[in-house]
Structure 1
């Protein structure tokens, strides 16, 4: 397989996984699949990550995400 095709497949897989997280977080249902609202929320997140609260926000979000991933893993076992 050509290098560009491999990279395209990797990118597609990555985008699908990110979209899955948006759905898994319940955002699609909470905003009635309003993509402008979702995009605005992402832009707000990006602004926060460019600001002074970057480190604390990343720590909080990572901790919360890991906790939920671990809880979901336990329910599957």
Structure 2
């Protein structure tokens, strides 16, 4: 397989995973799949990360995301035991 094909597949997988996070967070349902609203929210996030408290904001959001991932993993493990 050519290098550009591998890179294209990696990029496609990355974009699909990011889209999955948008769905997983409930954003698609909450916005009625309104792309302008979703894009506006993402622009707001980018602006928050670029301001003087961006590193603090990033740390808070990272902790919240990690906690949610851990809770989901725990829930999945629990359901597999049944």
Question: Which TM class, normalised by the smaller chain length?
Answer: over 0.9
Return 5+ residue gaps in structure 1 as ranges. none
Partner of 1:18: 18
TM-score by length of 1: 0.98
1:73 aligns with 2:55: no
Once superposed, what is the RMSD of the aligned Cα atoms?
0.5
- The whole-number CA distance in structure 1 between the counterparts of 2:53 and 2:26 is 25
1:50 aligns with 2:50: yes
- The whole-number CA distance in structure 2 between the counterparts of 1:67 and 1:50 is 24
The alignment of Structure 1 onto Structure 2 pairs a total of residues equal to: 77
Partner of 2:38: 38
Return 5+ residue gaps in structure 2 as ranges. 78-82
* Higher radius of gyration, 1 or 2: 2
Superposed structure 1 runs of 4+ greater than 6 Å apart: none
- The whole-number CA distance in structure 1 between the counterparts of 2:70 and 2:5 is 34
